[in-house]
């Protein structure tokens, strides 16, 4: 199985888009996204220095645009991707690129959303002196306890040996003076405590914009930063994109889901390298490909061909699929058993998926009429596996 991943803020480097702009199609598309974003992405991706592109309001649109356009370069015909990409995920702001790649948002919607996200997060950061520090190595439980002691948040949990602490400058200074045993602290050059309570003003701003955004259901598995679950309702994806601004990024759980899916290859979109580096440490035996420059495109397509397999999700708009949010065992025992022909109301719980870690309800966000169940009671299911097919009943 092939998983495509999009990096988050901090992955950008000066001039990383320069070789890509030699392609007239890439340049033309970037000019269009620049018009949507309201500033010259080509200039920031080729000529701006590190301090300039560190600015949240610039970095975020630049990252999302580069990932979306590189994905189009790998798969010039998006339908080709549907036959190869088993799942997608994006780290922090990269999740907006992932949402666009699966068809939840259009490219233009994604650019407007990320433009306003960057501005709102920059404004929230200006309210209080906050920052972030990478905590490398050490014992996970001891690190989390130490962060709690000083009022800090584990804003990014990137897997074994890599947690990013976030909070006020004073809280981070206290941590630096009393670090967890056997851990190394690296202050990050960011201007805010992203994915913490300090971003609440940005969440409120984005929530207002989200009410005007129409969505579509993902056309392949979309793995959520919040909890590693596969989300298959477009409005739920949008809601999570808003709330993730002040919620920790659980990339460790995203990788657990990739392992549950038995991923064999992970392709990271540019500016690539960060997420494939994490994957090499956490997902032993999984091949990785960091797409950095356009001269790698032929090799990237060969990598996709080698690992690609279609998602089980049916992209047909005629039907509504309810899918398993995680790996586990399917059951309808505790629910009203809806059979083919029965009506399911919006918000109704129709099944559960149980695992050793959790027990999650499967709800029908839009309702409909049951066409067929695709699994049997007690079946093991994988993340994103279709469970039931609904037909819209005309009232939702």
Two structure tokens written together for 88: 């997608």
Q: Is 103 left (phi over 0), alpha (psi -120 to 50) or beta?
A: left
Closest CA to 375 of 390, 367, 385: 385
Two structure tokens written together for 146: 């130490």
Residues 287 and 1: their CA atoms lie apart, in Å, by 11
Burial of 51 from C-beta contacts in 10 A (0-12 / 13-18 / 19+): exposed
**Choice among 34, 66, 92, 224 that is catalytic:** 92
3-state secondary structure of 246: helix
Q: Which helix (H) or strand (E) holds 112?
A: helix 107-125
Let me know if 92 is a catalytic residue: yes
3-state secondary structure of 202: helix
Residues 59 and 12: their CA atoms lie apart, in Å, by 7
Q: Which helix (H) or strand (E) holds 210?
A: helix 200-210
Q: Are 294 and 23 in contact (CB under 8 A)?
A: yes
The CA-based angle 218-222-227, given to 5 degrees, is 135
What is the CB-side half-sphere exposure of residue 213 using CA atoms within 13 A?
Answer: 28
Q: Which helix (H) or strand (E) holds 10?
A: none
Sign of CA dihedral 306, 312, 316, 322: negative
Two structure tokens written together for 158: 């990137």
Q: How far apart are the first and last CA of the chain?
A: 35
Residue keyed to tokens 């998983």: 3
Closest CA to 168 of 192, 146, 184: 192
**Choice among 67, 91, 195, 232 that is catalytic:** 195
Residues 72 and 170: their CA atoms lie apart, in Å, by 44
Question: Which residues does the annotation mark as catalytic?
Answer: 92, 195
């Amino acid at each position: 199985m092939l998983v495509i991943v999009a990096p988050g803020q901090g992955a950008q480097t000066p001039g990383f888009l320069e070789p890509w702009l030699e392609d007239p199609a890439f340049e033309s598309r970037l000019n269009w996204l620049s018009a949507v974003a309201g500033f010259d992405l080509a200039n920031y991706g080729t000529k701006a220095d590190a301090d300039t592109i560190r600015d949240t309001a610039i970095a975020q649109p630049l990252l999302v645009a580069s990932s979306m356009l590189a994905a189009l370069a790998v798969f010039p015909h998006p339908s080709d991707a549907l036959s190869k990409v088993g799942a997608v995920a994006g780290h922090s702001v990269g999740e907006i690129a992932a949402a666009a790649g699966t068809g939840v948002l259009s490219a233009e919607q994604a650019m407007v959303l990320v433009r306003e996200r960057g501005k709102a997060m920059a404004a929230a950061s200006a309210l209080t002196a906050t920052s972030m520090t990478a905590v490398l190595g050490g014992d996970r439980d001891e690190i989390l306890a130490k962060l709690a002691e000083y009022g800090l948040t584990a804003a990014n949990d990137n897997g074994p040996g890599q947690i990013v602490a976030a909070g006020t400058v004073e809280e981070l200074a206290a941590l630096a003076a009393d670090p967890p045993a056997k851990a190394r602290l690296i202050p990050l050059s960011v201007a805010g405590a992203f994915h913490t309570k300090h971003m609440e003003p940005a969440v409120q701003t984005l929530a207002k914009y989200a009410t005007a955004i129409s969505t579509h259901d993902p056309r392949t598995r979309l793995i959520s930063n919040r909890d590693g679950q596969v989300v298959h309702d477009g409005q739920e994806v949008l809601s999570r994109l808003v709330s993730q601004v002040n919620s920790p990024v659980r990339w460790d759980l995203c990788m657990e889901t990739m392992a549950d899916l038995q991923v064999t290859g992970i392709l990271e979109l540019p500016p690539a390298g960060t997420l494939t580096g994490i994957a090499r440490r956490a997902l032993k035996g999984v091949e990785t490909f960091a797409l950095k420059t356009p001269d790698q495109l032929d090799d990237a397509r060969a990598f996709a061909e080698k690992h690609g397999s279609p998602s089980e999700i049916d992209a047909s708009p005629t039907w509504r699929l309810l899918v398993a949010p995680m790996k586990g065992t399917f059951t309808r025992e505790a629910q009203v058993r809806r059979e083919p022909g029965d009506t399911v109301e919006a918000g109704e719980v129709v099944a559960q998926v149980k695992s050793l870690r959790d027990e999650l309800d499967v709800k029908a966000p839009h309702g409909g009429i049951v066409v067929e169940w695709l699994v049997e009671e007690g079946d093991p299911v994988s993340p994103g596996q279709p469970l039931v097919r609904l037909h819209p009943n005309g009232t939702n």
